[in-house]
Chains A and B, each alone.
Chain A
Amino acid sequence: MTIVRLAAWLVPARLRHEWLLEWEAELASRRSPSLRSALGSFADAFWIRQREVADLQAIDDLRHGWRQLRQQAGFAVTAIAILSLSMAASVVAFSVVSQILERPLPYPDADRVVTVWQREVGAPGRAEVAPGNFVDWRARAQSFSQLAAGDPWSYDYTGTDRPEVWRAVNVSEGFFDAYGVAPMQGRFFRLDEHKKGNHQVVVLSARLWRSHFNADPAIVGRAIPLDAVSYVVVGVAPDDFQPRMLEDLPGDVKLWAPRFIAGYEAQSRGRGYWQVVGRLQDGVTFEAAQAEMDAISAQMETENPRTNKGVRAAIISIREHLVSDVRPAVALFTAAVFAVLLIACVNVTNLLLARGAARQHELAVRTALGASRRRVVGQLLVETLLLAAVASAIALVLAQASMRSLAGWGPREVLWIDSLRVDGSALVFAVILAAIVTVVAGLVPALRLSGAGLQQPGHRTMTGDAGQRRLRLGLVAVEVALALILVSGTGLLLKSFVNLLNVDTGFQQRGVAVLQIFAGDRNSGAAALQLFHDRVAEKIGQIPGVQAVGMVRAMPFLESNVDIRGAVRLLDQPPAEGADMSAISLNVVSPGYFQVMGVGLLRGRLIESRDGPNAPKVVVVSEAFADRHLRGVDPVGQRIEFRQFGRPTKAEIVGVVRALRHVKLDEAPRAEVLLPFAQHPVGSLTMVARTTVPPDTVIEPAKLGVWSIDPLQTFYRTATLDQLVERTLTTRRFALIVLTGFAALALLLAAAGLYGVLSAIVSQYRREIGVRMALGAGWTDILQLMVARGLSVAAVGVAVGLVAVLGGARVLQSFLFSVAPTDPIAIGGAALLMLAIAGVACYIPARRAASDDPVEALRVE
C-alpha cells in the first residue's frame, strides 16, 4: 500500500483518487500481494503521467540522461556502485533507528507506561527494587493508575520426559493492566489469586502456548505440572507481549504467575530483586510523577534511616528502559554511515566534475544553440538523479540482505534486531536520500559546468581551469580527512578489542562444558545434597572425553548465578585501611573446580578432598582479596569469619588463587572467598567438566546421566565456557566489524578519489610534463613532482582529519578498553596508513605520466 501511495504522486491530481482506489482494491483482493505486483503501479503511474502531462521536458531530460549514462557505462557503474554501497548503509542505519529506537510498542498509550527502579542518590543507573519499598510506593503514590511488581522466577515443567526450566515472572496485582494488554485466550489473574493458597494459576506466553500446547484454546482451565505441583492455566498472553525487564538473561519469559507478598517481605528493604512497572494517571506528567516519587523517597528515608539512606525512586519510561543501552552504539554507527555517505557524495561530485571536463564541448554547443543555463543545470541534475535513483534501488536490496544477516550475527542484546527489514518508511527514506544525494553531489558540478567559459564552443581548455582543479583537490582533501576519522576510530576499537582478548581471566576458557543445576528443591539437607553432587560428578566423569569434573556455586560469566555476598572479618589482622569488607563474594567450589578451570595457585594449597565436613574449616581466597584486604601479610594461615546460611563461621585461609574475572572481561577481578562444597553443601550446583572432545558434545550425555539419577531434575542453563565469555564480546565485536567495514570503504573511496583526480590532472599536465622532459628532466623527477603534489593534498586532509580525531575521539570513550581516546599508536598508524594509500594512489598515474614519450606529450596540442 505504501508503494502504491508513493506511486500515486506521479499520477496527475485529476486522476489520482480514482487511480488509487483501483490499485488499492486490486491489492486488497489478494491475501498477500507480491512486492512485484505492487511495484508495477510505478510503471502504470509513469505511463499515465507521460500521456496526461505535457512535462515532456523532464521526460526528455530523463531520456537524454539515460542515453548519456549508457554511453559512459564505466562512469555510471562506478558512481552507482559508490552510491549504492553507502546508501545501503544509510538505509540500514535509518531502519535501525526507526525500527528499534523509535519502534511503536504494543501497548495502548505506551508513552504512559514507565518502569520504576531504585537508585542511590547522585548515582546514575537503575537497580532492582526491594519488596518493602515497592509496597510503600504503591500505597503512597498518586501519580500512577497502576503500579505493579514482577519477580523474576523459574518453574520446572515436568510434563515431558525431558523436564525443562521455564523462565517466568511472578507478578503483583495490576501487572497486565499497567501495560494495558488484554489476554488472547482466557483471562489474567483475579485479585483473590494474589493470596496464598489461591496462587497456583498461570498465564502462558503465546509462543509457549504454540510450541508446547499446540495452540489449543482448551488449555484454559487445564492443569499443568510445575515444580511437581499442579497449576491451572487461566489465560494466554497476546502474541507480542514480551516485556523485557531482565534483559541480560537469554530467552523469553514463558509464563506468568500471581505473586503474593509474604508478611516479612513488606519490611524487606535491603537488596532489591523486584522489577516495577506502572502506568501514569491521565494528566500526570513524567516530571510530576518523578517529583512525587522523590518526596515519597524522602519520607521513607526518614522512616527507615538504616536501609533507605540515599535511596531514591527513578522513573524511566519503558522505551528508555528497553533501548537506552543501544543508543551509543547506534549513534556511532549512524555517524560512521554519515561519514561514508559524505565521502561517497564527494567522490561522485569529483567524478561528475571530471566527466564534465570532457563534456564541456557538448554543453557549450547546447548553450550556443539557445539552451538556458537553467535548462543545462536541470539536465545535469537529472543525470545525477538517475544515478542516485538506480543506486537507491540497489541500496534497498543490499540493505534488506544485510539486515537479514544482522539477525544472525548481530548482538543479541539488541532487542528486535531479528525483525529488521526494509519497510515502507525505509522506502520513503531511500527516495528522499536519493534527492539529497542528487543535490549534494550534483549541484556543484552542475553549476560549475554550466557557468561562464561555456560561451565559446570553440574554446577548449586543455589544461582545465585552475579554479576547478583547486576545487577537486579540496574535495579530495575532505575525503581524506573523513576517511582518516573512520580509520582512526577503527584503530582505537581494534586496539581495545585486542586488549580485551588478552585480558587474563584467571581460568582456561577452552574445552569446558557448563551445566547449571538447582538441586535444592529436590534434595534437602546437607547429606542429600552431598550425595546428589557425588553421584552427578561420578556420572559426568564417566562420559568419554571428560577429563575432570568440578562444581561451583557462582560460575564466572554465567548470567543466572546465585551470587552470595556477605561481610567478612579478619580475625588476626586489623582491616586494611579504606577497604570495604561488607560485601565480599562467598563462592562454594569442589576440589575439581580448580582443575577443570585451570585456576592458577599463587600461594599455599588449593581445596582438596581431605577438606571434608569434619575436617577443620578452610577457605581459598582470590588474588584480589589478598591484594585489597591483606596487604603486606602472608594470607596463608590467616583466619577469617563470615556468615554462611546465617551462621557465623570461622575458617583458615589455606591458599591464594589467581585473579578471577566474573562478569565481563573489562571488569576488575573481584575479591572472592572460595569455600569447600564438602563443608558447605549448597543447592545451586554449576557442574563444570573439562573435556578432550568439543565441550558442547558432552552436554547431552551429561543431562542423560543426571536424569538417570533423578528423572525430574531440570537444567537451568547449559553452555560451554567459550560461549559464556563470547556472549560478553558480541557487542564490541559487532561494533568493530561494522566500523572496520566502513573504514575500509572510506579508505577505498578516498584512494579512488585521489587516484581519479590525479589521473585527470596528469592528463591535463601532459604538455607541461612533455616540456620538462624535453628540457632534460628525468622520469624520476616527474614521478617525484606528481607524487609530491598528490601527497601534499593528502597531507592537508590528514592534518584536518587529525584535528577532528583528537577533538572528537572522546565520543568513543565508552567503546574503548584500556586505550586512551588519543592513543598515538592507533591514530598515528591510521594517519600513516592513509598517507601510504594516498602515495600508491598518486604513484600509479604519476608513473604513467613519467613513462610517456615527451614527443607524444607535446603533440597533444
Chain B
Amino acid sequence: MRLTYPTALVLQALLDGHHHGFDIMDATGLPSGTVYPILRRLDAEGCVRSRWEKEGQARKEQRPPRRYYELTTGGKTIALEARERTQAMAAAGKRLLRPAASES
C-alpha cells in the first residue's frame, strides 16, 4: 500500500483515538479535502471501518449523529509500522543534524 505522508498522519491520528473526520483534521492539521479521500481509500483497502454513532449519545448533545472511523486489526499493524518508520526517520534526521549542530 502506498503510504504518503498525509496518510501516515491520518493513521497516526486514528491510533491516537481521533475518530471523526473533523477531529482528524484538527489532530493532523490537514484540510478536509485531504483527510476525507484518505479515509475513503483506507476504508476501501480494509484499514479502517466506519460506523454511525448511537442516536442516544447524539441526542443528548443535541446534534446529528456523526460517522465514526476506527482502525481494523490490519490497519492498526500498518499504523504502528508507519509510526515506527517515522520515528526511525526522525531519529536518523537528528543523527544527521548533530555534527552540524556541534560545529556551530
Contacts and interface: CB of A to CB of B under 8 A. Distances in A.
Contact of A48 (B21, B22, B40, B65): B40
Given A25-B66, A26-B66, A37 B37 contact: no
5 contacts: A24-B64, A26-B20, A26-B66, A39-B33, A43-B37
Contacts of A38: 32
B21 A26 contact: yes
Given A22-B21, A37-B22, A44-B40, A28 B33 contact: no
Nearest to B44: A51
B40 A47 contact: yes
Contacts of A172: none
A393 to B, nearest CB: 14
A30 B22 contact: yes
Given A22-B21, A26-B21, A29-B22, A43 B67 contact: no
B32 A36 contact: yes
Interface residues of B, number: 19
Nearest to B32: A40
A13 interface: no
Contact of A37 (B32, B58, B64): B32
Majority secondary structure of chain B interface residues (helix, strand, loop or mixed)? helix
A759 interface: no
B50 to A, nearest CB: 9
B67 A25 contact: yes
A39 B20 CA distance: 17
8 nearest interchain CB pairs?
Answer: A40-B32, A43-B33, A40-B33, A44-B36, A47-B37, A25-B66, A25-B64, A22-B67
A37 B66 contact: no
Contacts of B20: 26, 29
Contacts of A44: 32-33, 36-37, 40
A7 to B, nearest CB: 10
Interface string B28-40: 0001111111001
A25 B40 contact: no
Interface string A37-61: 1111111100110010000000000
A218 interface: no
Interface string B44-70: 100000000000001000011111000
A713 to B, nearest CB: 54
Given A26-B21, A26-B22, A29-B20, A40 B36 contact: yes
B25 interface: yes
A41 B20 CA distance: 15
Contacts of B65: 21, 25
A29 B63 contact: yes
Contacts of B31: 36-37, 40
A400 to B, nearest CB: 20
Nearest to B20: A26
Interface string A11-35: 0000000000110111111100100
Given A37-B22, A44-B37, A47-B40, A28 B32 contact: no
A337 B66 CA distance: 44
A33 B22 CA distance: 10
Given A22-B66, A44-B36, 19 more contacts: A24-B64, A25-B64, A25-B66, A26-B21, A28-B63, A29-B22, A29-B63, A29-B66, A37-B22, A37-B31, A39-B33, A40-B33, A40-B34, A41-B32, A41-B36, A43-B34, A43-B36, A44-B37, A47-B40
Contacts of B67: 21-22, 25-26
Q: Is the interface of A mostly helix, strand, loop or mixed?
A: helix
A566 B26 CA distance: 73
Contact of B33 (A22, A24, A42): A42
A26 B36 CA distance: 12
A41 B35 CA distance: 10
Interface in B10-32: 20-22, 25, 31-32
Contacts of B63: 25, 28-29
A28 B37 contact: no
Contacts of A21: 64-65, 67
Contacts of A26: 20-22, 66-67
Nearest to A50: B37
Contacts of B44: 51
A47 B39 CA distance: 11
A357 B63 CA distance: 58
A33 B23 CA distance: 12
Contacts of A33: 22
A237 B34 CA distance: 46
B1 to A, nearest CB: 16
A156 B25 CA distance: 55
A37 B25 contact: yes
A849 to B, nearest CB: 50
A40 B25 CA distance: 11
A38 B21 CA distance: 12
Contacts of A27: 22
A54 to B, nearest CB: 16
Contacts of B21: 22, 26
Given A25-B63, A25-B67, A26-B20, A47 B36 contact: yes
Contacts of B25: 37
A28 B32 CA distance: 15
A692 B40 CA distance: 73
Contacts of A48: 40
A763 B31 CA distance: 49
Contacts of B33: 39-44
Contacts of A51: 40, 44
A30 B20 CA distance: 12
A25 B59 CA distance: 12
Nearest to B65: A25
A209 to B, nearest CB: 29
B72 to A, nearest CB: 19
A545 to B, nearest CB: 58
Nearest to B21: A26
B44 to A, nearest CB: 8
Contacts of A43: 32-34, 36-37
B58 to A, nearest CB: 8
A21 B58 CA distance: 13
A38 B31 CA distance: 10
Nearest to B23: A29
Contacts of A42: 33
A28 B53 CA distance: 14
Which of B32, B35, B58: most chain A CB closer than 10 A?
B32
